[in-house]
């Protein structure tokens, strides 16, 4: 595996007191649900990317959620088709995942500036695995085993 073929990315698992996960229906893949995630910009730290992506994709600010844990390893998956960004083509993403606690309201996807999701809901890990993209199922399984 060539490390440079994988784009740096952060993933965000938001759980509530019942250990239900905030997930969204993917705008570009209706019917597939996923947790918020996004690329790390330039010299941005992973934690800076976490809070920026959380706000951009869900409208949830840093003072509304509590950071609980960070997965110790990069987790990799291949994209459905290559992504070209800044004259570099990526075959997949390498993600560092963060676990956050959030008991606030379910975001309204129509009010979010970044239109990544059609809608949000709180779901169980089992439900999310059954309704997520096949390319993400392995990562989600690893995350649930580590975080929950």
Q: Exposed (0-12), middle (13-18) or buried (19+): which is 140, by Cβ within 10 Å?
A: buried
Percent of the chain with pLDDT over 70: 100
- Write down the pTM of the prediction: 0.95
Helices then strands, counting H and E runs in the chain, come out as: 3, 8
CA atoms within 13 A on the CB side of 127: 14
- What are the tens digits of pLDDT across the range 3-46? 899 999 999 999 999 999 999 999 999 999 999 999 999 999 99
C-alpha–C-alpha distance, residues 25 and 107, integer Å:
12
Domain ranges of the chain: 3-147
- Give domain 3-147's CATH number out of 1.10.287.80, 3.40.1160.10, 3.90.79.10, 3.40.50.300: 3.90.79.10
pLDDT by residue (tens digit) across 68-87? 999 999 999 999 999 999 89
CA distances from 92 to 71, 110, 141 (A): 19, 28, 18
């Amino acid at each position: 595996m060539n490390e440079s073929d994988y784009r740096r990315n952060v993933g965000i698992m938001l759980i509530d007191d019942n250990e239900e996960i905030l997930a969204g229906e993917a705008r570009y893949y209706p019917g597939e649900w996923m947790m918020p995630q996004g690329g790390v910009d330039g010299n941005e730290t992973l934690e800076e990317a976490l809070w920026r992506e959380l706000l951009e994709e869900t409208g949830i600010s840093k003072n509304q959620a509590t950071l609980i844990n960070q997965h110790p390893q990069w987790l990799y998956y291949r994209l459905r088709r290559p992504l070209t960004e800044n004259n570099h083509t990526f075959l997949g993403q390498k993600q560092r995942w963060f676990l956050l606690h959030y008991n606030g309201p379910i975001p309204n996807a129509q009010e979010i500036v970044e239109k990544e999701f059609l809608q949000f809901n709180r779901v169980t890990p089992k439900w999310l695995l059954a309704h997520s993209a096949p390319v993400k199922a392995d990562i989600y399984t690893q995350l649930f085993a580590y975080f929950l």
